[in-house]
């Protein structure tokens, strides 16, 4: 009888120890997985400035080329100017896709998705309204500038810790004001696409400033 009690006690102690070891191993495994996830996120965040820098340089280059070409055809709506107008939001859509895929844990998912949708809708809208003249183009462009500027402002604020985002914050704020001016201009007698060219060029300058700031951060790191 005594031997049975001793054996039963031993089994209970062994079971308790085994259970405690299993729980401890489980905690260790969970901590290891958490550490791995954190390291992966840290790597993604660390690589985000370089990816954004390259993207901003590309956006600056595109804006300069687009502005020059558009300036040469801005006096009236021609097949070339229409193509340029539609290409601009399509490029913005492509840039948002690249941003979404390359910025990893630093990407603001919802604002970037909204930006993609806005760019596609704008490209379609511009293709539809070009037949109504420059005034219609300015209204669509203005509405897009207001909405996209607000999204850009939100994205830049969310990314402010990455560095180089103050130019993007200013760009977003100016974009909303410029969009309102486009809509007002569309109702006037002297509607022109010249201000759209200036809008794109200024946006390109802001991308260049942000790219330079991010480049310095990447080099310092």
Please give the Cα distance from 119 to 131 (Å, whole number): 20
Q: What is the DSSP string of 118-179?
A: HHHHHHHHHHHHGGG-HHHHHHHHHHHHHHHHHHHHHHHHHTGGGS--HHHHHHHHHHHHHH
Helix or strand holding residue 96 (H, E)? helix 79-102
User: What local confidence, expressed as pLDDT, does residue 49 receive?
Assistant: 79
CA 152 to chain centre: 7
As to burial, measured by CB atoms within 10 angstroms (0-12 exposed, 13-18 middle, 19+ buried), residue 113 is: middle
What tokens appear for 217 in the block?
A: 């951060």
Counted residue by residue, the chain has a size of 221
* pLDDT score for 104: 65
Rounded Cα distance, 61 and 66, in Å? 9
- Token pair recorded at residue 163: 């560095």
CA 109 to chain centre: 8
Q: Which of 134, 136, 92, 137 is nearest to 117 (CA)?
A: 92
DSSP secondary structure letter of residue 187: T
3-state SS, one letter per residue, for 97-130: HHHHHHCHHHCCHHHHHHHHHHHHHHHHHHHHHH
Q: What is the DSSP letter of 190?
A: T
pTM: 0.76
- Enter the DSSP assignment of 189: T
Query: Which residues of the chain fall below pLDDT 50?
Result: 6-7, 10, 13, 17, 21, 31-46
């Amino acid at each position: 009888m005594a031997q049975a009690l001793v054996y039963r006690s031993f089994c209970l102690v062994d079971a308790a120890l085994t259970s405690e070891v299993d729980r401890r191993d489980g905690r260790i495994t969970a901590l290891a997985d958490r550490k791995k996830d954190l390291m992966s996120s840290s790597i993604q965040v660390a690589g985000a400035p370089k990816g954004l820098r390259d993207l901003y340089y590309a956006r600056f280059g595109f804006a300069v080329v687009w502005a020059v070409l558009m300036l040469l055809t801005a006096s009236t709506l021609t097949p070339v100017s229409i193509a340029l107008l539609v290409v601009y939001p399509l490029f913005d859509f492509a840039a948002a896709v690249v941003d979404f895929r390359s910025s990893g844990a630093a990407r603001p998912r919802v604002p970037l998705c909204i930006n993609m949708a806005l760019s596609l809708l704008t490209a379609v809208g511009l293709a539809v309204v070009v037949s109504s003249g420059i005034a219609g183009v300015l209204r669509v462009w203005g509405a897009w500038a207001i909405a996209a500027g607000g999204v850009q402002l939100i994205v830049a604020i969310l990314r402010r810790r990455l560095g180089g985002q103050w130019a993007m914050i200013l760009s977003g704020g100016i974009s909303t004001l410029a969009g309102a001016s486009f809509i007002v201009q569309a109702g006037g007698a002297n509607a022109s696409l010249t201000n759209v060219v200036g809008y794109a060029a200024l946006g390109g300058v802001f991308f260049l400033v942000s790219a330079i700031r991010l480049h310095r951060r990447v080099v310092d790191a």
